[in-house]
Structure 1
Amino acid sequence: MINGDLSTRLADVRGRLIIELSDAVTGWGGQVPEDPGVAELADLLDTAAANLHDATRSGIRAELALAVGHLRAADRLGGLLPAVRLWHLRQALQRAATLPDSREPTSAAGVAVSQTC
C-alpha cells in the first residue's frame, strides 16, 4: 500500500512539472502539443536555444541547453527511478522557467539571472 501511495504522489508531481515545463516552453515560442512527452519538450527547448543567435543571449542559450540535457536524462529514465526522473524534470524547469523568455528584451539583470541558476 505504501508503494501505491508513493507512486500516485510521484505521478501527480510529474504531471504538475510537465504542465509547468509546457508553460515555460510556450514562453520560449514553442507550440506544445496537447499531451506532451518529455522528449517533445526537450526538442522544443532545444529549438528555442538554437534560435538565440546574438552574443548577449549566450548565457541564456547555455541554461536552456542544460534544461534540455535534464529533459533528455528524464526521458532516458522512463519509468525507472521515478524520483531521479522528477529531479531532472525539476532541474529543467528551474533552468527554463526562471530565464527571461524570448519575448522579453535581454537586459543585464536577465543575464545575471541565467548565470546564478
Structure 2
Amino acid sequence: MNPQPPEADTDLLADQQAALVRALVAGRPVPDGFDTEAVAAAARALLRKRAGEVARRFPLLVHACGADFTARFIAWAADKPKTSTASDATAFAEYAGIALSGSASSRARKLLLRRRR
C-alpha cells in the first residue's frame, strides 16, 4: 500500500501548481523548479489559442481591429486571466477603442460581437 503523502507535501504541491497556472495564464513569474523557457512558450501558445477563439467567435471584431488583431490581443491579454471568450471580446474591444456602449452603438455591438453560426 502507498501511504498518503504528508499534508505539508500536499500543500506545497498545491501552491506550486497554483503558481504554475498563474505563470501560464496571468503573466506571473515562473515558480522555482520549472523551466522558464518552456513555461513561457506554453503561455504564448495559450495566448495565441485564446486570440484564435475570439477571432473565430467574433470575426467582425477582428475585422474592426485590422491585420494586427492577434498581436494586439496577445499584448492586451498577457496579464489578464481568461473568464470567458465573450468577456475577452468585450474587454478587448473596449481597450482597442471600439465603441460598444450606448444606444447609438448597440447595433455595432451586436454586429461586432455576434457569433458566427
> Do the structures match in fold with TM over 0.5?
no
Structure number with higher helix proportion: 1
Q: TM-score, normalised by structure 1?
A: 0.31
Q: TM-score, normalised by structure 2?
A: 0.31
